[in-house]
Amino acid sequence: MDTPTDRSKPLGVAVVGIGQVAQNTHLPTLLLNSHLFKTLALVDISPSALAHAATKFHVPHTSTTLSPVLADPAIDLVMIMSANEYHVEQAIASLRAGKHVFVEKPLALTTAGADAVADAAREAGKVCFVGFMRRYADAFLRVKEMIQGSTISYVRVRDIIGQNAFFVEQSGSFPLKFDAGRELAVRSERMLMGALGRYGERDRQTWGLLTGLSSHDISALRELVGMPRRVLSAARSADCLWIWATLEYDGFVAYYEVGIDNVRVFDAHIEAYLLDRRVKVTYDTPYVKGLPITATVQYTRNGDHVEETIRPTYEDAFTLEYRALYDAIVKGTPVKTSPEDAREDLVIFKMIMDAIWAGEGRSPD
């Protein structure tokens, strides 16, 4: 791997995929962290998206293909926010071109894809950082500290939110949508076959929910309590917008519920029930900058019930994640959200799918 050195200038960045998450969160955060990162290029298949974002965020170069970015020595870091089906291909190409890589979650839709990215990162000696920003929130890390070394009785993971558009339209970031005309059907089908074998339309929707919204929850759960032994049971709603699963650990279970509805509420938390206290990290929507992520502790003291709410910082999780990304590239700090780490989510997702199919008493549609 490259020998890390302190740098006197920001890292040169290319952003690939100028969709909602790029316009709403990443490009503004990069601009606000201009002492660490300088966005030099944008890549997207849509010329209209490129023109809009380049003007809005003061980015000097644009391209409808990745090749010019990979050939540019001023680019240190490629940040991939394109459609999920392109993450593996673009990450591997960037790593082989000698660039560090940030990939929005999910890293891949198959374990084989995750393995291929991990191999490419090792061979290139470059950083590959997967964007699980919830795991970099200070409140999450406080809860992790409180759980370590404690006896866990039960864990509950909840992520029930309204449509993303409900929050984006109130974010003040004013992102625009562009029709990029992507043809993803063949690529998506191949990846689903690799992940699930035979599948039906409902399985496609369920896998999309798992690899999308659920990747935040399962990744954070893993960091707190590790990999489960197995999934005891799982079920999904008729419209495949809800999933319920019970994950077995040594001595306790974690109950997971995830769903998307039409209520303008973001209800997401992880709560651990310990012998002498309950600890919980509560998340708000990442699409509105500066909303606090908090830790809550409940316990008994002198016969009284005590509840404390800890708000370590108003800094958003993306900013905290960027700091870790910068340190990994410049100072050689280990990356916890690596390709190898992200692969474990896919293992759990397949366990959940198997449990859903078993509960429905049938093979895939």
Task: List pLDDT tens digits, range 36-65.
Answer: 999 999 999 999 999 999 999 999 999 999
- For the purposes of burial, counting CB atoms within 10 Å of the CB of 92, is it exposed (0-12), middle (13-18) or buried (19 or more)? buried
Query: Which one-letter DSSP state was computed for residue 136?
Result: G
Instruction: Give the residues of the chain that fall short of pLDDT 50.
Output: 1, 3-6
- Amino acid (one-letter) located at 198: R
* Rounded Cα distance, 175 and 23, in Å: 6
- Residue 182 confidence (pLDDT): 54
User: Angle at the Cα of 245 (from 244 to 246), degrees rounded to 5?
Assistant: 140
CB-based burial, 195-232: b 16+ in 10 Å, e otherwise? bbeebeebbeebbbbbbebbbbbbbbbbbbbeebeebe
Q: Which string of DSSP letters, residue by residue, matches 226-252? A: ---SEEEEEEE-TTSSEEEEEEEETTE
- Residue 168 confidence (pLDDT): 83
| pLDDT tens digits for range 233-262 | 999 999 999 999 999 999 999 999 999 999
- Residue 166 confidence (pLDDT): 84
- Residue 365 confidence (pLDDT): 53
Q: Classify 33 as helix, strand or coil.
A: coil
Domains within the chain, CATH numbers bracketed: 11-132+320-335 (3.40.50.720), 135-318+346-360 (3.30.360.10)
| pLDDT tens digits for range 61-94 | 999 999 999 999 999 999 999 999 999 999 999 9
